[in-house]
Amino acid sequence: MSALFQPLKIGDLELANRIVVAPMCQYSAVDGSATDWTTIHLGQLAESGAGLLVIEATAVTPEGRITAGDLGLYSDANEAALARVLDAVRPHSTTHIGMQLGHAGRKASSRVPWEGGAQVPLGQPGSWTAVAPSAIPHAAGEDAPVALDAAGLARVRECFAAAARRAARLGLEFLEIHCAHGYLLHEFLSPLSNRREDAYGGSLENRMRFPLEIFDAVRSAFPAGRPVWVRVSATDWVDGGWDVDSTVAFGQALKARGCDALHVSSGGLSPLQAIPLSPGYQVPFAHRVRAETGLPTIAVGLVTEPEQAEAIIAAGDADAVAVARAMLYDPRWPWHAAARLGATVKAPPQYWRSQPREFKTLFDGAAIGQR
């Protein structure tokens, strides 16, 4: 009996298995609004058989986009465009679909990755002024962001809440708040990017304050019963930066406020990061966070093989495993995992005839006839 294909409950959400499609920016939106690419992308991933699909980092304000192509949920047009995508995708999928809400902070105003991903210098077409906890650029030589003042903080809080209300209207089943990868909320957490001298900087308690306020704002704007959780970077991989001990403290504070799960990634805050990459390199962080917070925990990062994901769940390192690049490379990753692990998976009836001869019970409930 596969551990990866055991059901899992997060809040009131019942997942058919423990495979999560990780959030993946597509940089293919126009003014924050989803396009046909969004439908193609989410459509194929929603047929993957994964238990959960996290829609890419979605900006709560225009200046909170990483690139001009980022998805947003800050306008009626954004909401309508996403409604069209979801109306197309959802009737054909049993995967639970939710969204990652985020704000790029000082990493905003970047070029899309296939155009190099660098900051668009201020004054050049397509640039805009980024905001952050402190006026410290992400990398030497980059334009510095503007430090948020009290009114700016209040606006960002309200924009997270407004986006959560839009997400609720769209019927999204859960929200993940992006506190990882060096974007705005991670910038508040890390002492490397947060040098504030007010109640939002200095001690760990102060640095956690704004991300926790955002959690509260989103939680209270999203219907009770639909889970809200947080993606964290467990460490900056830089001496003197955000670390695993702080992540555990943050996870415990989130749990006390009703957070339903933690999604444990790492890095992204500093170009000085030194990451010892290896298969499953972030799983030990998930293990520790899970053990010390008691929250359902999603592990992610260089998990490419079904047997590897199976071992992570079987060992109790995490409750679910998110897969990103391997899922783009093979959008049927969960089908192949089910076949390799002797499990069953939901597939759309239109595709049941593809079930390989040697896996007679692979597709849950599959039965086909023909004259």
Ligand X SMILES: Cc1cc2nc3c(=O)[nH]c(=O)nc-3n(C[C@H](O)[C@H](O)[C@H](O)COP(=O)(O)O)c2cc1C
Contact residues for ligand X, defined by CB under 6 A? 22-25, 56-57, 100, 178, 180-181, 231, 265, 300-303, 323-326
Q: Rounded to whole angstroms, what are the CA distances from 13 to 9, 116, 173, 216? A: 6, 39, 8, 20
Task: Give the whole-angstrom CA distance, residue 51 versus residue 329.
Answer: 18
- 28 vs 206 by CB, closer to ligand X: 28
Q: State the nearest-atom distance from the C-beta of 25 to ligand X, in Å.
A: 4
Task: Give the whole-angstrom CA distance, residue 312 versus residue 96.
Answer: 22
Is 341 within 8 Å of 2 (Cβ atoms)? Answer: yes
- 24 vs 77 by CB, closer to ligand X: 24
Backbone angles phi, psi at 205, to 5 degrees: -55, -45
- 178 vs 332 by CB, closer to ligand X: 178
Q: State the nearest-atom distance from the C-beta of 150 to ligand X, in Å.
A: 28
C-alpha angle 364-370-371 in degrees, rounded to nearest 5:
165
- The neighbour count for residue 370, using CB atoms within 10 Å, is 4
Is 51 within 8 Å of 320 (Cβ atoms)? Answer: yes
- 212 vs 324 by CB, closer to ligand X: 324
Task: Give the whole-angstrom CA distance, residue 183 versus residue 201.
Answer: 16
- 57 vs 159 by CB, closer to ligand X: 57
List b or e across 122-150, with b for residues whose CB sees 16 or more CB atoms inside 10 angstroms. eeeeebeebbbbbebbbeeebbebebbee
Q: State the nearest-atom distance from the C-beta of 202 to ligand X, in Å.
A: 27
- Token pair belonging to 303: 């998990």
So which residues are the catalytic ones?
Answer: 183
Is 100 within 8 Å of 178 (Cβ atoms)? Answer: yes
- 146 vs 302 by CB, closer to ligand X: 302
Q: State the nearest-atom distance from the C-beta of 281 to ligand X, in Å.
A: 9
- 25 vs 286 by CB, closer to ligand X: 25
Q: Would you put residue 91 in left (φ > 0), alpha (ψ -120 to 50) or beta? A: alpha
Q: State the nearest-atom distance from the C-beta of 358 to ligand X, in Å.
A: 28
CA dihedral 194, 200, 206, 210 (to 10 degrees): -100
Q: What is the DSSP string of 192-246?
A: TT----STTSSSHHHHHHHHHHHHHHHHHHS-TTS-EEEEEES--SSTTS--HHH
Task: Give the whole-angstrom CA distance, residue 210 versus residue 220.
Answer: 15
- The neighbour count for residue 12, using CB atoms within 10 Å, is 12
